[in-house]
Amino acid sequence: MKRAYWGLPQDGLGADVTGRLTSTCPNGYPCDAFANAATYGDPRADMNKRLTLIWTCEPQRFVLSEVAISGLKVRMDCIAGPPLVPRTISIIEATWGSAGASSTADVTQQVRDICGENSTRCQVPAMAYIFGNQDPNPKVLRIRFTCNGQTTPGQQSLENGVADLRCERNADLGF
């Protein structure tokens, strides 16, 4: 388990509950984590709260994530083998802010911290309790990255979604 967050995403920086989930997967993956207030010591149940989990998979060098609404569970798993042609993701720039806003927050370092140094796939949750809530309007996470030094079109996600950074090419898969 790399990181876990619980709370109302729109309330900004929320509770990091990683410490409460360290024993969730004692035998590795697959395993489940439940999105409920009691698990995270939250006395106020609220159906709008979200559980965001970020975990790593080896030897694939994946960083995976999922967001679940209150009352559901997240199945953490490491499927598939290593990429046929492993390409390492490097984050160039990441911004967070409203689509029409004149200013956005530079969240490059936070995205680098999530993806790590040598991931071949990285799913980045676009959540206000990770990147902040400087604007009440819906936000967008925009990420520019390279794969083994080659520029990609980049990736983006609307708030409460997940930006999925991948380096596979159709030729890798035989297309």
**49-106: pLDDT as tens digits:** 888 888 888 877 888 888 888 888 888 888 766 666 778 999 999 999 987 667 789 9
Strands 105-106 and 121-125: unpaired
Residue 83 inside a domain? The answer is no
Residue 131 inside a domain? The answer is yes
Is pLDDT of 145 > 90? Answer: yes
Residue 84 inside a domain? The answer is no
CB of 53 closer than 8 Å to CB of 10: no
List, in sequence order, every residue forming a beta bridge with 106; answer none if it has no partner. 95
Residue 61 inside a domain? The answer is yes
Q: Are 61 and 13 found together in one domain?
A: yes
Alpha-carbon torsion angle 61, 117, 96, 158, nearest 10: -10
Number of domains in the chain: 2
Q: Are 105 and 163 found together in one domain?
A: yes
Q: Which pLDDT value is given to residue 96?
A: 93
135: DSSP letter? -
Q: Which pLDDT value is given to residue 82?
A: 62
**Residue 60: which domain range?**
3-76
Q: Which pLDDT value is given to residue 12?
A: 58
Q: Are 38 and 108 found together in one domain?
A: no
φ, ψ of residue 130 to 5 degrees: the values are: -100, -45
Tokens 């990255």 — which residue?
145
Entry pTM: 0.82
Residue 162 inside a domain? The answer is yes
pLDDT tens sequence across 116-143 = 988 988 999 999 888 887 677 889 999 9
Segment among 24-33, 58-67, 78-87, 159-168 with least mean pLDDT: 78-87
Residue 43 CA, chain-centre distance (Å), reads 26
Q: Are 66 and 95 found together in one domain?
A: no
Residue 13 inside a domain? The answer is yes
Q: Are 56 and 109 found together in one domain?
A: no
